[in-house]
Chains A and B, each alone.
Chain A
């Protein structure tokens, strides 16, 4: 019989992405085991109210039951709930092999993501994160800590979710990337698409996006351009030419008037919220730009994302879904499996 290796996961943050990942693990574990010889075992789950810890791993039924709990109610799960428990307490009870960070991206002080990720790395635990903040604010520290401890860090879910832009950029070893631009935020692209196709106001389009679970109840991170700006910073870090978040020039999408949209459509163009990074000049921006209807970006609608990478050799365009619980969770799972396979216990 083939040897199956058990890989223990601690899942920190149990919102949209955390829950999708828990479901995915519950439901795909059999397939994963057959394909990769790895059995994923979720030994801890945490939200802002506390944690659930089960040393020998939560069963599929238990994971799905957790997904039925309302927000912040993790710790009420009997008999494994621990009210108020955070990462330290979890680690004192069970040391995971991989730490998955799915807490909110906070660009003010990076918390709780920065502390959690650094704590995990310092404890010698591999990290996979969809939280962007540690890779925006403390990229160097995170990478240094990981290499010092000889552990891996996966973060491809932070940019374009299920579409492997980070992998692609990392693979362009012989090329000189000069810059890139594109649509890096699904929520705002959905809102713009609604505004253009149905000629509705920003407020109405936002409401629909919220209803469909695409926009947050507080949409500022997306609409004011923080999220795409953060992604540009991560990309700049990956390409070794760091730009600071505060230096990214941002525009506010909520200012766009439906009359301007109407005029643009009449003259054969559409507004897109374009994130651009110029590596030669070290400049980055997120701006509302009118693009002609024939442009690739004009046909990227709804929650789709697209990026055009300019290198010294050619241009590469990559299009794909850039957000959503299941998409992001799959991308996290990819990183988890890569780490799990590379690292023999």
Chain B
């Protein structure tokens, strides 16, 4: 399972280079691949703006996809893209903005168009690819804007749709982020939706690996804007990844791990083509202990979390307390539940930088 993030999809060229990479890294290595694709960079935000009436945002979406389609050549492709864009405009004209079903329908065009382009790019790269419609495969509840995938219904469809194609050596490409209700209305899966799709598809097809690929390397040991010495965490567990995302690590959404925990576990690689973090159900023994430090701002406080399996055990908590005292860092609260892989400290916002650096350098790296 390969999931291509929107940050990699900025132009026609980038679709081609993604396609080449998929061929080199996976297909030529003999892997059977299913691809989940996000909308082009910035498109979902622009679609939300155009729902609020912004003509210029819609203009940007149209421009991006038409230019990319032109770059990828072929008349037929352009016709298809224009046809979808025409439907999108019609949807915005009907424009009951308050109608959540229509809103999801509008948002779904971002991924749909992106899929059409990626399939074409894969053909250019000599890959037998074929687009499948997420609305026909990914079945969800009716919570528009934040729908939950129904695993059983989706599983049946996946087997029908994907298995014959894989057997023939073809690469199915499915839109991330979108699904449909039992009545057939389009739904969207909310923040991190494409990763959630990828994880669900992978788990239901009992895949070995999920590669979530964007333009930044894996999960960092701290926010590099604050901490110069931050580096990519090589390995972590689902639990740690979920905890990190709850405390502000934006790379992942906790929902992504739901199908992986409930249905089938896969090895998840999060990162760029070159460097990534491997996330598995339980991290290997060598890797217990603090992995990263992350934070969330709330009011005038920063909640800084040290994340890692075993960090809430007594020894480490008292070590952290000592360290902070030694470094002269005032904190306003600390909590560490034995059942969770984190220690959370509350700081005044102005000392955030120093706190992150201290915890990172002395505890994570120490």
Report chain B residues within 8 Å CB of A212.
105
- Would you call B165 and A61 a contact (CB within 8 A)? yes
Chain B residues contacting A169 (CB-CB under 8 Å) are: none
Q: Please give, as numbers and ranges, the residues of chain B lying within 8 Å of A28 by CB-CB distance.
A: 160
Cβ of B168 and Cβ of A60 under 8 Å apart? yes
Measured in the bound complex, the distance between the Cα atoms of B161 and A69 in whole Å is 19
Give, as a whole number of angstroms, the nearest-CB distance from A216 to chain B.
Answer: 14
Given the known inter-chain contacts A31-B160, A60-B164, please indicate yes or no for A210 contacting B83, CB distance below 8 A: no
Kindly state whether residue A208 has any CB partner on chain B within 8 Å: yes
Bound CA span A198–B99, Å: 11
Q: Which residues of B contact A204 (CB under 8 A)?
A: 94
Q: Does A93 contact B (CB under 8 A)?
A: no
Per-residue interface assignment for chain A, residues 59 to 72, with 1 indicating a CB less than 8 Å from any chain B CB and 0 otherwise: 11100110011100
Check: A237 CB closer than 8 A to any chain B CB. no
| B160:A27 contact, CB within 8 angstroms | yes
Is B246 positioned at the interface, with any CB of A under 8 Å from its CB? no
Whether B164 contacts A26 by the Cβ 8 Å rule is yes
Which segment, of B8-16, B85-93, B313-321, B353-361, faces chain A? B85-93
In the complex, what residues of A have CB within 8 A of residue B116's CB?
A: 68
B165 contacts A64, CB within 8 Å? yes
Contact status B165-A211, CB under 8 Å:
no
Distance in angstroms between the alpha carbons of A69 and B119 in the assembled complex: 12
Taking CB atoms, residues of chain A closer than 8 Å to B132 are 64
Whether the pair B90, A207 counts as a contact (CB closer than 8 A) is yes
Q: A31-B160, A70-B83, A204-B94 are in contact. Are A61 and B168 (CB under 8 A)?
A: yes
Per-residue interface assignment for chain B, residues 150 to 178, with 1 indicating a CB less than 8 Å from any chain A CB and 0 otherwise? 00000000001101110011100000000
Residues facing A in B96-148 (CB within 8 A) are 96, 105, 116, 119, 128, 130-132, 136
Asked whether B94 lies within 8 Å of A208 as measured between CB atoms, the reply is: yes
Report B-chain residues with C-beta under 8 Å of the C-beta of A76.
76
Nearest-neighbour CB distance to chain B for A307, whole angstroms, equals 21
Nearest-neighbour CB distance to chain A for B50, whole angstroms, equals 15
B80 CB to closest chain A CB (Å) equals: 6
B322 beta carbon closer than 8 Å to chain A:
no
Count B-side interface residues using an 8 Å CB cutoff: 27
Q: Could you mark each residue 197-241 of chain A with 1 if its beta carbon is under 8 Å from any beta carbon of chain B, else 0?
A: 010000010011011100000000000000000000000000000
Q: A27-B161, A60-B164, A61-B170 are in contact. Are A211 and B94 (CB under 8 A)?
A: yes
Over the window 129-167 of chain A, the binary record of Cβ atoms lying under 8 Å from chain B Cβ atoms (1 yes, 0 no) is 000000000000000000000000000000000000000
Are A68 and B91 within 8 A (Cβ)?
Answer: no
The distance in angstroms between the C-alpha atoms of A198 and B98, with both chains bound, is 12
Set of chain A residues within 8 Å of B90, measured between Cβ atoms:
207, 210-211
Interfacial chain A residues near B119, Cβ < 8 Å: 68
Contact A60 B165 (CB under 8 A): yes
Q: Does chain B have a CB within 8 A of A337?
A: no
- Check B164–A27 contact: CB distance below 8 A: yes
CB contact under 8 A between A69 and B76, given known A60-B168, A64-B130? yes
Q: Which residue of A65, A70, A211 contacts B130 across the interface (Cβ within 8 Å)?
A: A65
A interface: dominant SS = helix
- Whether A333 is near chain B, meaning CB under 8 Å from some CB there, is no
Query: Residue B79 at the A interface, CB < 8 A?
Result: yes
Q: What 0/1 pattern do residues 88 to 113 of A give for CB contact below 8 A with B?
A: 00000000000000000000000000
- Residue with the highest number of chain A CB atoms closer than 10 Å, among B94, B96, B170, B184: B94
Chain A min CB distance to B34 (Å): 14
- What residues of A have a CB within 8 angstroms of the CB of B161 in the complex? 27
Whole-angstrom distance between the Cβ of A9 and the nearest chain B Cβ? 17
| Residue from A30, A68, A210, A211 in contact with B164 in the complex, judged by beta carbons closer than 8 Å | A30
Task: Give the distance in Å from the alpha carbon of A107 to the alpha carbon of B79 in the complex.
Answer: 30
Among residues of A, the one whose C-beta sits closest to the C-beta of B164 is A60
**Which residues on B sit within 8 Å (CB–CB) of A60?**
164-165, 168, 170
- Interface check A269, CB cutoff 8 A: no
CA of A28 to CA of B76 in the docked complex: distance in angstroms? 28
Do A73 and B164 touch across chains, with their CB atoms under 8 A apart?
A: no
Please state if A207 and B93 are interface contacts (CB–CB under 8 Å): yes
- Of the candidates A29, A30, A198, the one having the most CB atoms from chain B within 10 angstroms of its own CB is A30
Please provide the 6 A-B residue pairs with the shortest distance between their CB atoms, ordered closest to farther.
A61-B170, A60-B164, A64-B130, A27-B160, A211-B90, A61-B168
A-B contacts besides A30-B163, A65-B130, 10 pairs, CB < 8 Å: A26-B164, A27-B161, A30-B164, A60-B165, A68-B119, A70-B76, A70-B83, A211-B91, A211-B94, A324-B184
Instruction: Using CB atoms and an 8 Å cutoff, list the residues of chain B in contact with chain A.
Output: 76, 79-80, 83, 87, 90-91, 93-94, 96, 105, 116, 119, 128, 130-132, 136, 160-161, 163-165, 168-170, 184
In the complex, 11 of the A-B residue pairs with CB atoms within 8 angstroms, ordered by the A residue number, are A27-B160, A60-B164, A60-B165, A60-B168, A61-B128, A65-B130, A68-B130, A207-B90, A207-B93, A207-B94, A210-B90
Residues of A in contact with B (beta carbons under 8 Å apart): 26-31, 59-61, 64-65, 68-70, 73, 76, 198, 204, 207-208, 210-212, 324, 326
